[in-house]
Structure 1
Amino acid sequence: MNKKFNSIIKVFLLALFTFNFQLLPINSSAKPLNNLNETPTGFTQSDRERLIRIETILEQHDKRFESIDKRFESIDKRFEESRSDMNTHFGWLIALFTAITISTISFALWDRRTMIRPFETKVNEIKKILDDLQEEKTANKILNALRELAKKDNQLAEILKSHNLL
């Protein structure tokens, strides 16, 4: 776009200078044309000097446009660098957010498991106690049966008394 802009400006300036020269008399010391058949004389020294000055001015404008182009290029480079820096920072932010999310979910799962383990152990202990109670019921049934048998059998009654079961 900068090259197109420069070429448009150059054409505009060239057209402007050319138009100005057409309006100005070519030679200020030239005689006015009295007769339409007379032709004006060629370029004078002052005309050549004017053209040289115009060419130097155009060259100066070209140099200015080149310096402006260089400034635009440096600004474009700075924008690209800042954009790449922003992309890098954005990538780091995404990575940080992902890490925080994963660590939060992991902590929640770990906490849930560690919280459930004590309940599992207590439930297992209660089951064990209930199983033991179930076995004691069977033992109680046997003891009751032996007590009834001890009513009829004296020897068994003495054995149960010696163990404080009667």
Structure 2
Amino acid sequence: MTRLNFIVIMILLLAGQCVWAEEVPYTLEDRDRLIRVETKIEELDSRFEQIDKRFEQVERRFEQLERRIERLENVMMWGFGLLFTTMIGLVGFVLWDRRTALSPAIRKNKELEERNDKIEKALKEYAYKEPKLAEILRNVGLM
């Protein structure tokens, strides 16, 4: 049985060597087809390069827009800061000016009140001596 197996294996091995290999024919049609495929691939490559260039242009444009927006943001921030600083300064000036403008008026008001008190006191003293004046001051509500 082992001999039979050995003989069968040997026949199969020897028969495999006797097979004639046929060369695959490479025709002119195949060559033309390959050339067309290569040209189409080159066209696709050039299109991809053009698309890449367009993407680069778009990226540059976006970068320009980003820089421009950033500059506008900076200008707006400085503008708002300047505006608010000016407003705060104006409010401070108004409050300071109000105090300085009111202090002479307050001083004058105190002087007038003191003068009024003195006049009232003088009238009351004179009313003790003059009964008619005392009657008038009582009617007005000063006594």
1:49 maps to what in 2?
31
Structure whose residues are more often helix by fraction: 2
Size of the aligned set, in residue pairs, is: 105
Residue matched to 1:109:
91
1:134 matched to 2:116? The reply is yes
C-alpha distance in 1 between matches for 2:93 and 2:86: 10
Q: Deviation digits for residues 91-138 of structure 1, max 9, x if unmatched?
A: 222222222221222222222221111121111111111111112224
Counterpart position of 1:89: 71
Q: Taking structure 1 as reference, are residues 145 and 58 closer, same or farther at Cα in structure 2, changes over 3 Å only?
A: closer
Per-residue deviation, 1:84: 2.1
The amino acid across from 1:99 in the alignment is G
Query: Percent sequence identity over matched residues?
Result: 8
**Aligned equivalents of 1:72, 1:134: Cα separation in 2:** 91
Extract structure 1 runs of 4+ deviating beyond 6 A.
Answer: 145-148
Shift of residue 143 of structure 1? Answer: 6.7
Return the alpha-carbon distance in structure 2 between the equivalents of residues 61 and 83 of structure 1: 33
Greater relative contact order structure (CA < 8 Å, 6+ sep): 1
> Normalising by the residue count of structure 2, what TM-score does the alignment of the two structures yield?
0.59
Query: Does the alignment pair 1:123 with 2:105?
Result: yes
Aligned partner of 1:99 in structure 2 is: 81
Shift of 1:51: 2.9
CA RMSD after TM alignment: 2.8
Residue by residue over 1:39-81, the C-alpha shift from the partner in whole angstroms, topping out at 9 and shown as x without a partner, is xxxxx94444333322222121111111112112222222222
- Describe how 1:9-24 pairs up with structure 2 within 5 A: none
Please give the alpha-carbon distance, in whole angstroms, between the structure 2 residues aligned to 1:122 and 1:98: 37
Q: Which sections of structure 1, spanning at least 5 residues, go unmatched? A: 1-43, 149-166
2:49 maps to 67
Structure 1: how far apart are the matches of 2:87 and 2:127? 60
